[in-house]
Structure formats: C-alpha cells, structure tokens
Structure 1
Amino acid sequence: MKALVKEKAEPGLWLADVPEPETGPGEVLIQVERTGICGTDLHIRAWDGWAQQAVSAPLVVGHEFTGEVVETGRDVTGIKPGDRVSGEGHLVCGTCRNCLAGRRHLCRATVGLGVGRDGAFAQYVALPAENVWVHRTPVDPDIAAIFDPFGNAVHTALSFPLVGEDVLITGAGPIGLMAVAVARHAGARNVVVTDVSEERLELARTVGASLALNVSGASIADGQRALGLREGFDVGLEMSGNPVALRDMLANMTHGGKIAMLGLPAEEFAVDWARIVTSMITLKGIYGREMFETWYAMSVLLEGGLDLAPVITGRYGYRDHEAAFADAARGRGGKVILDWTA
C-alpha cells in the first residue's frame, strides 16, 4: 500500500510502498478515505527538536483520519465491515489508575498514533477496536477526518459553562476556529478571537466570532471597549502557545475568570502569578479528548447544526502531499485534507 513515511532522520516525508498492517484479535483494519494534516505532522516533517526526541524512523505518520472498516479481529464486537469510522489517536494502557477509573485521557503511558506507532497517512490503518469511533449518523468525510482536532476544540471550549459568558480565544488556527464555532453554538454572549493573520481572522468571522482582533495593531483591551465589556472576559481559551497571548489574556480576565489552555508553549515563560492568585483565576490544562465523552459531544453538536465546513480550506489528493503540507505550513488558513481515494 501507499503511505507517507518518515523514512530517515532528516527533514521530509516520503510517499512509499509499505506492507499493509496486520490486524490483531482486538483490532480493526480501516481503509482510509481522508486524513487531516496536524501541527504534529508539520513538526515531524520539519524534523525539529521535538520530533527528533519523539519519533523513531522509519514511521508511517498521521493521526487524523476517517475511513471504512474492511476487517475486524476475532475478539471485536460492535464494529463491522462497512462501518464509517474515525479514530482516537491516543492509545492507552488500560491498566493504570486513571484508565481503570474511566479517565483514559489521563493515562501516563499514552502512545500516539503516527508518533509512537505507525499512523493513518496510508491507504490502510490498523487500530484497537476501543479506539474506533463509529459514525452512527451520516457525517461528511472531510469533517469526519478532523474529529481528532475537533475534539481538542470541544474538550477545551466545554471545560467551563459558556451560556451567556464573554469568551476570549487567543489563536485562530484550525482548532481555535473550531472553538469559536463551538462557543457560539453553546450559547456564549460574545466570542472574541485574536491572531495576527487576517486570513484566519476572516475565517473566524465566518464561523461566528463577535470580534476578530488583529493584535499586531490593536489590543485585547481595545476589543473589550469595542464590545462595551467593563469587567473583563469570563472564559479564556488559549490556543496559540504564545507567551504574550497568555499574558494578555490574564490581564483581561474578570475576577474569578476561568482559562482552559490547549496551546503548547515551545519553552517555559513567566506569568503574573500575583494576578492569578488575587483575581482567583482558574487555569486548566487540556490534552487530547475525553474518551469518549468528547466524541459523543462532537457528534451531537454536528447533529444539532454546528457547521465546520468553513474551517476546511485546503483539499488535495495524497500524491500532492508536498503542496498540501506547504499549504498547511503557511499558517494562514484552516484545516488541510488529504484524499486517499483519489
């Protein structure tokens, strides 16, 4: 089969012929239809410091996907050939304290699909049945391919109650854009998103932002004044990993405000801890998705009319992966999809 492979410990990805994955007794074999390019994939392609520590070549990369089940292991129940599925890319041990308590997203032994084991940028992928999400209602394949990052957005956005709240989102990348749509759909009063890319800010307006603010020329305080907010934001969703973004968010939160942080900083940085303490601000780190409560919430949100179509701005056949990765690396659009049926 064809697959995108990190063949060597150097920058690049290579389209190569590799053996089809074998299916164990508790696994499912999936014929891949669409995949989404993630920031993690860009890091692996660039072979930066993180990738050099996290990845061992050769490796089939990719973890955002959808496809059709073609084979199930002998111990698999509830999933059958022909089912349309997506996959949870965090593979957990199942035996640690958190796994046994149903908190699998907190497993300390998590292995990442396409990072710690062969992934989904291929014509076929094998996955443990417990990591397979069956789409019981019709979902557009492009949307089904991005359930993994959509789950990041839902997990982050729904960490705190949003009805009637004023929400600040720092970072209008693909997950930030999806969080805008979720916050608006969930009943937030105002949803303000910040970035330095006008293209991404325009996408944020399309998916429902009350105000899309280019912080290269305006401040979050300016945004507050424009909306008539007097006490600051109730909920913050930090999606950028940018130190300045978090500091500015903290400076514009109301007393008792709550911040969910998904953005991953490249290095340590200082924040105003005195403000956090005296304003009684809650900081909550977010990683991945709650398995599988977040997945249920995603499906329900889509059934309820949430529209993510504007977030997808690039579609390519898998043979055009170089152009697709270049598009994603520009950092000015939304999600980029690879079609493995073309």
Structure 2
Amino acid sequence: KIMEVGKEVSDLREGDIVSGETHIFCGKCFQCRTGNAHICERMLLRGVDTDGCFAEYHVLNEQHAWLNDRKIPIEVASAQEPLGNAVHAASAAEISGNSVAIFGCGPIGACLIGLCKSFGATKIFGIDIVDYRLKLAKDMGGDVLIDGSQQDPVKEIMRLTDGRGVDAFFEMSGAQPSFEEGFRVLRPGGTAILFGLPSKKIELDVANWIVFKDAHVRGVFGRRLFGTWYKTAEVLKAGQVDLTRLITHRFDLEEFSKAFALMKSGRSGKIIMYPNKKHG
C-alpha cells in the first residue's frame, strides 16, 4: 500500500495497492527501447543489487510499480510476480492440445502446471523429488506426478506416451539431471523451455538432444515488461489459476528466519510474510 508519493509521481496516489517489478531497467538502452526491458543492458535486480522488500517500508520508482485491481486479495496480489514467471514461460511454447513435462514443482512450476491445465494441455507430467511439491503439483492440476528419487522419469514418461515423448518440456528446477531427462523425453520437433538456474555448468548432448531432434530451445528470464503483467492480471481476473492453493504458510516479518528455513526445506508453497503482524 502506498503511504506517500513524491512530487514527480503522476499516476499513483496514496492508498493505492501496488506490486513491485523486481527487474530495475534503465529505459534508455537498446534492449529497453526495443521492447526487451526485462533483459536491460544495465539491469539491476531488486533485493540483489539494491535493497529488497522484506521491510516495513520500501521506496519504489513509479515506472517499476504495478497498480493492482482492488478486487484482488492482498495475498494473491503479492504472488503475482512469480506467477508472471510462469505466464512468461507458458507463453513461449504451444500448449493447447499438446503434452507437457514440467521438471521442478516449486511455486513457479506449480503455477505453470495450473496454466498448462487452463490452456488445454492434453497431458501434464510433473516431476520433482520432494513429495510436498508433488502434492502442490497435483492440487494445481498435474495429471501424472513422478517422484524422481523413486522412479525413472524418462522410462515412465516414454511408457505413458507410447514411446513418442512430450511435445514440450519446461526445466524449472535448475537441477542438472532435469536437463538430461527433459531432453530425453522431448519428442523430435518438440520445444524445450529453460527457466531454472543451474548452480554450475552443465553438459548437453547437443547433437542427439537438439540437432538430430530438430528441437526448439528457448531460454526464459523473468517477465516481459509490462506485457506479462497485463497477461497475468487477465489470468487472475478470468480465474484461470487459483493462487490461493499455492499460498501455504504465513509468518510475521520478524519470523523471517523460520520462513526462509521452511522455504529451503522444499516443504512449502508460496510463503507470505506480513510486516504488520496482521496475518492471523
């Protein structure tokens, strides 16, 4: 909620409910001026290169603020930014009438499963190694949930697709095995969407996984500014994804250490932290 506005603010008012874009773009470089502000040449990330939002108050430039519809619950509005990641990823592949495999069923992956369901995917495979997240994936509409620590995702997906593989796979975890498994279950001519960030360099069999398969490979970063925000708002307005299913825990801001420990355990969905002790 906006508590105070500066003299040069033109469109926002005190009391408005806003969400903050985490990609701080310059608006002047080649990328910004050609519609690619999300990959600005001078990009700063809020909470990484600047102060973050885990505070009672935060200073936000008007051009980085998204004005929310007051009909959207505060908790849902607070989760729009990660939902926007999923919307951006989903927009990069043809989903309607196709089968998809999503490797990594954390909050963004679970949102993506909900979107794929809404967009008309014929079969949605969700793969993770944490049972809690597989349950989230099921709640969001996953058809086949595979525990990668107990089953071989490649064998299971190929069996259930009669050896053809899936039309698209989304790598949302950054885990090295997911890249290999994802490309191996991708059918020839299929689309690979890479969103997860590996902790170290990985090896790809470019010849067999990409070239000989005539695969379409696309990296996805953040959200398009602000096109993805508009799409995300419409997704929520139309009820295509129920974000309340994804919000599993609430903490006071001063309990941040507990919230972060829970998040790192993988046994949570989206965690909401309240700076004013009004969550309960």
Q: Quickly name the TM-score band, shorter chain normalised.
A: over 0.9
Match of 2:5 among 72, 81, 90: 72
The amino acid that maps onto 1:330 is S
- Offset at residue 75 of structure 1 (A): 2.0
SS in 2 for 1:283: strand
1:186 aligns with 2:132: no
**SS in structure 2 of the partner of residue 71 of structure 1:** coil
Name the structure where strand makes up a greater proportion of residues: 1
How far apart are the structure 1 equivalents of 2:182 and 2:158?
15
Structure 2: distance between partners of 1:145 and 1:116: 21
SS at match of 1:260: strand
Q: Which amino acid aligns with 1:103?
A: N
Segments of structure 1 that go 5 or more residues without pairing to the other structure are: 1-67
Tell me, yes or no, if the aligned pair for 2:125 and 2:142 is still in contact at 8 Å.
yes
Measured in 1, the distance between the counterparts of 2:127 and 2:258 equals: 27
Partner residue in 1 for 2:227: 293
Letter paired with 2:253: Y
Paired with 1:136 and 1:236, the residues of 2 have a C-alpha distance of 33
The CA distance in 1 between the partners of 2:120 and 2:131, in whole Å, is: 26
Do the aligned partners of 2:158 and 2:164 also contact (CA within 8 Å) in 1? no
* 1:160 aligned residue: 93
The equivalent of 1:279 in structure 2 is 213
Partner of 2:237: 303
Mark the runs of 5 or more structure 2 residues left unpaired by the alignment: none
Does residue 1:249 correspond to 2:192, yes or no? no
SS at match of 1:314: strand
Tell me what 2:251 maps to. Answer: 316
**Alignment partners' CA distance in 1, 2:30 and 2:256:** 41
1:186/1:75 CA distance change after superposition, 3 Å: same
Give the Cα separation in 2 of the matches to 1:187 and 1:88: 29
Amino acid at match of 1:323: K
Whether 2:48 is the aligned partner of 1:115: answer yes
Match of residue 203 from structure 1: 136
Q: Of 215, 219, 231, which aligns to 2:164?
A: 231
Contact 2:158 2:185 in 1 (8 A): no
The change in CA–CA distance for 1:78 and 1:254 in structure 2 (over 3 A counts) is same
SS of the counterpart of 2:256? helix
Q: Can you list the C-alpha shifts for 1:307-335, whole angstroms capped at 9, x where unaligned?
A: 01121111111122221111111112211
Runs of 4+ in 1 over 4 A off after TM superposition: none
- Whether 2:136 is the aligned partner of 1:216: answer no
Contact in 2 for aligned 1:168/1:237 (Cα 8 Å) = yes
SS at match of 2:126: strand
Q: TM-score, normalised by structure 2?
A: 0.94
Alignment-mate amino acid for residue 335 of structure 1: K
1:177 is aligned to 2:80:
no
Tell me which amino acid in the other structure corresponds to 1:297: K
Distance in 2, matches of 1:197 and 1:118, equals 32
Report the count of equivalent residues.
275
User: Cα gap change, 1:225/1:251 in structure 2, threshold over 3 Å: closer, same or farther?
Assistant: closer
Residue 315 of structure 1 aligns with an amino acid whose one-letter code is R
TM norm structure 1: 0.78
Decide whether the 8 Å contact of 2:110 with 2:136 is kept in 1. Answer: yes
Alpha-carbon offset, residue 139 of structure 1: 1.4
Superposition CA RMSD, Å: 1.4
1:78, distance to aligned residue in structure 2 (A): 1.9
Q: Is the 8 A contact 1:314 1:327 kept in 2?
A: no
Change (3 A) 1:234 1:137: farther
- Give 1:228 shift: 4.0
Distance in 2, matches of 1:186 and 1:137, equals 26
Provide, for residues 65-95 of structure 1, a one-character-per-residue CA deviation record: whole Å limited to 9, x for no partner: xxx1122222222211111110101111111
d(CA) in 2 for partners of 1:318, 1:211: 36
CA drift of 1:225 comes to 5.1
State the match for 2:194 in structure 1.
Answer: 261
SS at match of 1:125: coil
Query: Compared with structure 1, are the counterparts of its residues 225 and 106 closer, same or farther at alpha carbon in structure 2 (3 Å cutoff)?
Result: closer
CA distance in 1, matches of 2:27, 2:148: 44
What percentage of aligned pairs have identical amino acids?
Answer: 32
Structure 2 CA distance for aligned equivalents of residues 223 and 302 of structure 1: 33
Instruction: Report matched runs for 1:112-151 at 5 Å.
Output: 112-151=45-84
Q: In the aligned structure 2, how far is the partner of 1:142 from the partner of 1:136?
A: 13
Offset, 1:154: 1.2
The one of 322, 330, 336 equivalent to 2:271 is 336
By how many angstroms is 1:223 displaced? 3.1
